[in-house]
Chains A and B, each alone.
Chain A
Amino acid sequence: MDTLALYLTAKLALITTAILLFIAMPVAYCCAYFRFPARPYVEALISLPLVMPPTVLGFYLLIVMGPNGGIGRFWEHLTGRRLCFTFTGIVLASLVYSFPFAVQPLKAAFEKIDLRMIESAYVLGCSRLETFYKVIIPNSLGGIIVATILTFAHTMGEFGVVLMVGGSIPGKTKVASIAIYEYVEALRYRDANILSLALAVMSYLVLVVVNVLNQRNKYGS
């Protein structure tokens, strides 16, 4: 079994999920609570990876992250290294690809919180930031968990975008889904089957862990 590809997949999913939750929370907060004229355009942009074919998204990412693209050039200038066909490159691509899967559940959870509860926190002296982490976050645990599951699972199964931006370099960018595809191409069905099963079990275990955490965090209804 290609354990290296499995390890790389888990690493990619974990890093992407951690970074995305951090970035998606303030974005979801702004979309849930601020009314600004450009909001429909910003929201459409956030949701774009949901409807865009992964290969198309991967192609554009390849262009901007390539040595002649804006992000690629900036990265090379900053670190002296290329961004495409590296692990950092596929993390960045995954961040874009999975972004709506983190933002949407968080936004829905934030919108569900009664405005009076937030106003009550303001009247009791809490700033917007304090209200965010003392009231909004603890009352959005369900949404945070859903965002975590979706982002993690979505990144685990990523294929098109990673293939376009990262190629298939063993130990660097060859994640499990790409390894499975290559096994099938080489008619190595047994290896493809083992890796697929491992991926399925891993996904299931993630869901179990998250559900257990969810049960513990429930404070009744």
Chain B
Amino acid sequence: MALKVKIFKKLKEFDLDISFSCSSGRLLALVGPSGAGKTTIMRLIAGLERPDRGLIACNKSIWTDTEKGIWLPPQKRKLGYVFQEYSLFPHLTVERNIIFAGIDSYEARGLMKLFGILHLRRRRPHQLSGGERQRVALAQALARKPGVLLLDEPFSALDVATRVKLRNDLKSLKNQLSIPVILVTHDLNEARFLSDEILPIEQGKKAPDWLSRFLSTWQSEACTDITWCLSAG
């Protein structure tokens, strides 16, 4: 299974024009400063927005092909999407949140065990910590039995300790998954630790030079957050 993306979309500030692919079992990290178009790329893959031109295909299934007039709505794209926050349904318990993705309670139990959240099954999202919430969100995304997993800054709202723990968990999970995983992050440490490939993006386009420029600044080790480094010059 592989994800192929070739998209063009006119945005307010710049044109998003990018192509990449990611094969099964690999994790591609999209890194770049805020407002570079990373989340828009994820939304285009998920079908939450339409590109002006382009092709998005997962394995043999074409999700978007503007030339042929093909566009599948998000409901028909088998993908898991973990948002930064707010993706869980506050009126449902952890178990019902996972079942919501279309699986039965037996399968949900298996997933909850895998993510170590079985003891939280009767709780509602507001009764969970940030880390627990993101574990539930991951379990919910995988409950969809996705062909692609999209992670849009899933750890950015967490404290450092939780972040490191979840990062390790995701690394071992990634090795068990046989689907392409796309991760959006600000954190180059995170990208380097988790990904098989890093795609630097600036103003909606691939920016390999930007990464080398950034990495020279990053050598200082103290600087791991892209936004901070850029503002630091």
Contact = CB atoms under 8 A, between A and B. Distances in A.
Contact of B48 (A114, A123, A135, A219): A123
B87 A220 contact: no
B91 A220 contact: no
Contact of B87 (A117, A139, A219): A117
Interface stretch (A56-64, A71-79, A94-102, A124-132): A124-132
Given A119-B74, A122-B73, A221 B48 contact: no
B124 A220 contact: yes
A171 interface: no
Contacts of B79: 123
Given A219-B90, A220-B126, A221-B126, A126 B83 contact: no
Contacts of B75: 122-123, 125-127
Contacts of A120: 81, 83, 86-89
Nearest to B77: A123
Contacts of B81: 120, 123
Among A114, A123, A135, chain B packs the most CB atoms within 10 A around the CB of A123
Contacts of B100: 121, 124, 134
Given A117-B89, A219-B91, A125 B101 contact: yes
A116 B86 contact: yes
Contacts, number: 59
A116 B87 contact: yes
A138 interface: yes
B144 interface: yes
Nearest to A131: B75
A125 B102 contact: yes
Which 3 pairs of residues, A with B, have the shortest CB-CB distance?
Answer: A120-B87, A138-B91, A122-B74
B139 interface: no
Nearest to B137: A120
Contacts of B47: 122
Contacts of A134: 100
A79 B119 CA distance: 61
Nearest to A141: B91
Interface string B193-212: 00000000000000000000
A127 to B, nearest CB: 6
B185 interface: no
